[in-house]
């Protein structure tokens, strides 16, 4: 991370029309766009000698930009005693069972109740390659998705893990309960995913401009729930994403006609569970330092267990033992 002192940087715009935040992102490659927006909003950027507070301000050729960055003592994530379970840890990595409802990292200094706040509280050393708001973070889970997530305690481990994820050598298996009865026992959903042009926080199937995305599914159990004298069908699935697109599993299941139960963004609310029924159950990877192949399981949280119980599935642990082999 940056040192504890303030550091001042000066640049001159080489062209007209570029946004201020995008220009700064080209200069500070380790900082995310959200982090740079925060720096601008804090008045730490001068444009031709005057503070500028609009990230989207368009620069002119020869504009002079001055940036004052606080060191890690000022910009570090605030340590907070956040409750989470540790599946495994050593000097290089920590594997966490993230609770549902917990954001992985803050988007700005205003966010103080995230997994990263808890990691900073617990560990003296974490990697800093993802920027000051994401110490230790190599990959992420959605806020309302529970389960296994790996954090890096140093940069060497981070680099190796990032390469493993990028080259799709990390095996990730999720458990989900979806609406409806899926006919076939297994299959592959292969549809490109891109950002929704109207709802920018959402993703969608985009055959023209989307990035390739592939999800393998296997039906573990077909279940049902009686409500108001009607029998409603559900399917308990193993989901294995071969790629790692934002909201991939949620978008693919919606497209497949079987949205994840209680997914408010891509489906509908359900009385059976208060958040999307999606859990990162299994990770298999090569240890970034000693090279050992390791696998981890994240125990199901109580709300997911209650969901399965209400759908009539009580011996799920015995069933799940059959779904940790390579697929």
Please give the positions annotated as active site.
142
Cβ proximity of 147 and 118 under 8 Å: no
In 181-242, beta strands by DSSP E:
186-190, 193-195, 203-205, 214-227, 230-241
Enumerate the β-bridge partners of residue 22: none
Task: Enter the tokens of residue 211.
Answer: 């990035």
Cβ proximity of 116 and 106 under 8 Å: yes
Give CA separation, 301 vs 69, 101, 145, 319, in Å.
Answer: 41, 12, 11, 17
Query: What is the greatest pairwise CA distance in the chain?
Result: 72
- Which has the closest alpha carbon to 104: 142, 76, 138, 78? 142
Q: How far apart (Å, rounded) are the C-alpha atoms in residues 7 and 239?
A: 46
DSSP class per residue in 107-130: SSTT--SBHHHHHHHH-S----TT
């Amino acid at each position: 991370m940056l040192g504890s002192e303030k550091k001042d940087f000066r640049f001159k715009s080489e062209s007209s029309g570029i946004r201020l935040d995008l220009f700064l992102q080209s200069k500070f490659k380790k900082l995310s766009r959200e982090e740079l927006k925060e720096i601008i909003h804090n008045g730490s950027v001068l444009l031709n000698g005057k503070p500028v507070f609009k990230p989207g301000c368009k620069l002119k050729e020869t504009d002079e930009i001055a940036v004052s960055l606080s060191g890690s003592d000022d910009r570090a994530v605030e340590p907070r005693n956040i409750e989470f379970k540790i599946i495994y840890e050593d000097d290089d990595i920590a594997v966490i069972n993230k609770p549902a409802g917990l954001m992985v990292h803050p988007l700005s200094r205003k966010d103080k109740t995230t997994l990263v706040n808890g990691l900073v509280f617990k560990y003296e050393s974490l990697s800093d390659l993802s920027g000051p708001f994401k110490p230790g973070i190599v990959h992420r889970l959605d806020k309302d998705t529970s389960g296994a997530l790996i954090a890096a305690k140093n940069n060497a481990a981070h680099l190796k893990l990032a390469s493993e994820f990028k080259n799709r050598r990390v095996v990730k298996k999720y458990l989900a309960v979806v609406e409806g009865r899926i006919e076939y026992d297994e299959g592959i959903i292969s549809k490109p995913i891109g950002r929704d042009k109207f709802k920018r926080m959402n993703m969608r199937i985009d055959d023209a401009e989307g990035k390739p995305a592939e999800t393998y599914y296997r039906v573990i159990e077909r279940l049902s729930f009686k409500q108001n004298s009607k029998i409603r069908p559900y399917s308990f699935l193993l989901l294995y994403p071969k790629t790692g697109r934002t909201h991939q599993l949620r978008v693919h299941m919606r497209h497949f006609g079987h949205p994840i139960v209680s997914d408010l963004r891509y489906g509908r609310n359900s009385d059976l569970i208060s958040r999307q029924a999606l859990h990162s159950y299994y990770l298999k990877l090569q240890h970034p330092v000693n090279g050992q192949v390791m696998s981890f399981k994240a125990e199901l949280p109580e709300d997911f267990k209650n969901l399965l119980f209400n759908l009539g599935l009580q011996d799920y642990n015995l069933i799940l033992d059959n779904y940790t082999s390579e697929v």
